[in-house]
Amino acid sequence: MLRMILVRLALTVPILLGVSIVAFGLMRALPGDFVLAAAGTNTVSQEVIDTTRRQLGLDRPIWEQYGIWLQNALSGDLGTSFATKKPVVSELLPRLAVTAELTLMAGLTALAFGATTGLASARLRGRTDWAVRGLNSLLLAVPNFVIATLIVLLFGLYFPTIGIFNYVPFAKDPLGNIVSLLLPAISLALTVSVTVSENTRAAVLEVSSQDYVMVARAKGLLARTILGNYLVRNALTPVITVTGLQLAALLGGSILIETIFTIPGMGQYLFDSVTRRDYPVIQGIVLVSSTIVLLMNVLVDIAYARVDARVSYE
């Protein structure tokens, strides 16, 4: 087990290296650069442009720029933002915290809601099954930014006292912070809950027809014991996988939801930085997000082994 974790962690290093090279190359392939984007529609002399580029190191060959970035990144320094002149790390971390909190809330909501509807639809069948599957189709068909917009409209029109756009920092008011993230978390959660619900339903149906569930009934066990120890624990593995992977994807930041609810998270930060061609920031966000995705994958594998003793990684 420990060996597996170490091997998996070691494997993330070459993957991260590859991701950073691709991200670096892609950004440079986009038309324009920071200097041109900053100049905007103003007429700036070629001389000024050249001087600024030299100051930012953009005049060097691209592999040299990458080499410098990599060398700094390895020592924990992700560079300085072109736009704000502040270290990328210090700008990125608070935003990552906000996005992580939003994702965690969305994930828990999606897990609670999706697992409940999936379990209900598999166990009760009949009308409940139809209702749940209908709801899932609807939620899957409607993108989350539409749901978010509807929520904003609904609350803005009928409950104007609830400040939808008032993001409250956690340090200032922990409870207010959670309340302010509730609606965006729900907007994110509904789409994820479809995947959780459908996977829970399929897994529970599969487990229900297993012989050991018949044995459990023949033992005269209480319905709740059978449900908890026999059905749910066996149905958990596929649900853990999909939830974990969906959460990892969300941790990169949801640009649309963060923009709609004006939340200072990673998504908005990335969007602004791409528009400004703020290379160090983009590079930093890509590195951090892909690290998180890779770590989540390792965590999902560990969770497997915790839930199911048959899983060993020797």
Partner 1 sequence: MLEVRDLTATFNREGTPSQVVNRIAFDIAPGEAVGFVGESGSGKSVTARAVMRLAPEGSSIAWGGRILFKGQDLLALDERQMRDVRGRRIAMVFQDPMASLNPVMTVGQQIDDMLMRHMGLSQGAARKRTIELLAQVGIRDPEIRADDYPHQFSGGMRQRVLIAIAVSCQPDLLIADEPTTALDVTVQAQILRLLMRLRKEIGMALMLITHDFGVIAGMVERVYVMHRGDIVESGQVDALFADPKHDYTKALLAAVPRIETARRSA
Q: Name the site residues for partner 1 (rule: CB under 8 A).
A: 208-222, 225, 229-230, 233-234, 307-310
> By C-beta, is 171 or 218 nearer to partner 1?
218
Cβ proximity to partner 1: between 32 and 220 the closer is 220
Least distance in angstroms from the C-beta of 309 to partner 1: 4
CB neighbours of residue 233 within 10 Å: 13
Distance in Å, CB of 229 to partner 1, minimum:
6
Residue 281 beta carbon to partner 1: minimum distance, rounded to whole angstroms: 45
Tell me the two tokens of residue 137. 């189709």
Cβ closest to partner 1, residue 60 vs residue 133: 133
**Distance in Å, CB of 215 to partner 1, minimum:** 5
- CB nearer to partner 1: give 128 or 177: 128
Tokens of 83: 């736009």
For partner 1, the closer of residues 236 and 247 by Cβ is 236
- Opening angle at CA 107, ends 268 and 225, nearest 5: 180
Strand partners, 80: 87
User: Would you list the DSSP string of 84-139?
Assistant: T-SBHHHHHHHHHHHHHHHHHHHHHHHHHHHHHHHHHHHHH-HHHHHHHHHHHHHH
Cβ–Cβ under 8 Å, residues 58 and 65? yes
How far apart are CB 216 and partner 1 at their closest, in Å? Answer: 7
155 vs 161: CA distance, rounded Å: 9
